[in-house]
Amino acid sequence: MTGTLTGALQHGKYSEGTIAPMKLRKKMMRRALGSLLWTLILIALAAYPASRFGVFKWPREYDPFSVPDLRAKPNFLTHWQMKLVDAEPRNCTAAFAIVGSPITLKPTQGADTSCEVSGAVTLGKLSSARLAPEDTRCAIAARLYMWEHHLLQPAAQRILGEPIAEILHFGSFSCRTMRQRSSMSEHATANAFDISGFRTASGKIITVKSDWDKTTKEGKFLHAAHDGLCDWFNLTLSPDYNADHADHFHVDMGWWRSCR
């Protein structure tokens, strides 16, 4: 290798006069890119406060301190914005107001008990699919909206060739412990939701119990729906987890994190 390079230098293919400028150009390019990056950062740091004072409108989907537009295509900030929805029920109702679906917080129930439910709403419709009205935490409702709008309906069109008209469920609130355990279930605070199936626009019923294990388009759709739930909830359980979930998907926003 050394002999080859030496020969190239001797025959004029490369020379100190050409290698040095090449290194200099690369160095100058790195400096220019670094300066550009810092300039963009400084502009953003100056522009964002100006937008908060109404000088111009900062795009909501790229504002880390704004609640999300539930209809907007998710990006790298969406999950952070959803944490604002999780943390404060009023942020959650504001997110629903943005998409033209005003929702009202219900009074706290069961205060100072193991089954206290706060920040709950009555959920009867998502972006387009309806469901039997059910009281659940607003944060759960918002995450179901994101899942239904951004994953469930596109998957239904792609796999089934029609939209989902109704989401079938077993409910959210149930003042009880986890099965075969002494600790309280996330259902005890309406921090969970159990989905049992779907009704398509043409009236076809697809259920977790009947279609999960089938190698049909209905089975494929259920697996896509399940995988999408994992993107929006801390815990998602399917029939693959255990027999207790043979007929539904369980989702919640508790401490445990798993996609089963």
pLDDT digits (tens, 9 = 90+) for 208-252: 999 999 999 999 999 999 999 999 999 999 999 999 999 999 999
| Res. 43 pLDDT band, cuts 50 70 90 | low
Structure tokens at 123: 């959920």
Query: Is 176 part of any domain?
Result: yes
Query: Is 82 part of any domain?
Result: no
Query: Is 48 part of any domain?
Result: no
Query: Is 180 part of any domain?
Result: yes
Type of residue at 18: T
- Domain range for residue 169? 118-259
Query: How many domains does the chain divide into?
Result: 1
Torsional sign, CA 212, 216, 217, 218:
negative
| 240 close to 222: Cβ distance less than 8 angstroms | no
Query: Is 22 part of any domain?
Result: no
pLDDT above 50 for 200: yes
Query: Is 35 part of any domain?
Result: no
Q: What is the CATH number of the domain that holds 125?
A: 3.30.1380
Structure tokens at 23: 């290194």
E strands within the chain?
A: 120-125, 130-137, 164-171, 192-200, 205-207, 235-237, 249-252, 258-259
Query: Is 182 part of any domain?
Result: yes
Query: Is 17 part of any domain?
Result: no
Type of residue at 159: I
